[in-house]
Structure 1
């Protein structure tokens, strides 16, 4: 990537993270993926507390990126709200319920660290417990 492409990519990441924070997204993780796949350069993973919030988070990202002039190639998962995805080319954003995120563990699959969903809970929570 040249310098302009890197600047545009960073702008996309900043817009997406701000959109997630505006709708109170949790455990926001940004991963560099250009060394792992030629399909996209960055991945953002975030959690929402409810199906409604997952949908709102993904919608917020798509709307803000579009308003900034970036193309949204596609989005998935808006119907169920368990796991929504926004594909903006070099940036892919996943928004999930904590149980779904824990179960599929794409954070560690793509080289990140598994977020701690257990803080403040009396018993450690795992997707298998549900």
Structure 2
């Protein structure tokens, strides 16, 4: 399945299941393990698990076999590896603590040629 189509399916499923603050981050060129991260907040451990389960079912029905899932019904963080996309479903407190958006968005929006200490391009 094409990356954009898979992303749309994941985001729609999360939205339908009332996932909060859905964020997609393109990590091509930053990570060798995946092309995109999707991060979403669930409002309880049960909701976190339900969001991950719903996405797992939706992608399987679309013909995509997830590579793995980490976390369980008591988790505050469930990771679903879809190869091209890694989905992180987290409680708000866990998401705030780990701040994956900041980690993976480093360098976005920076100019290609940054000035050195003298103010001239490298």
2:13 maps to 1:9 = no
In 2, Cα distance between equivalents of 1:69 and 1:78: 23
- Aligned to 2:85, which of 86, 91, 98? 91
Structure 1 length-normalised TM: 0.78
* 4+ runs deviating over 2 angstroms: none
Which 5+ residue runs of structure 2 have no aligned equivalent? 107-122
The match for 1:107 is 101
Q: How does 1:34-53 map to 2 (within 5 A)?
A: 34-53=28-47
**Can you list the C-alpha shifts for 1:83-107, whole angstroms capped at 9, x where unaligned?**
0010010110000000000001111
- 1:78 offset after TM fit, Å? 1.8
- 1:80 offset after TM fit, Å? 2.2
Structure 2 length-normalised TM: 0.83
Q: CA RMSD in A?
A: 1.2
- 1:38 offset after TM fit, Å? 1.4
Aligned residues: 106
**Can you list the C-alpha shifts for 1:3-30, whole angstroms capped at 9, x where unaligned?**
xxxx711111011001101110000000
Which 5+ residue runs of structure 1 have no aligned equivalent? 1-6, 113-130
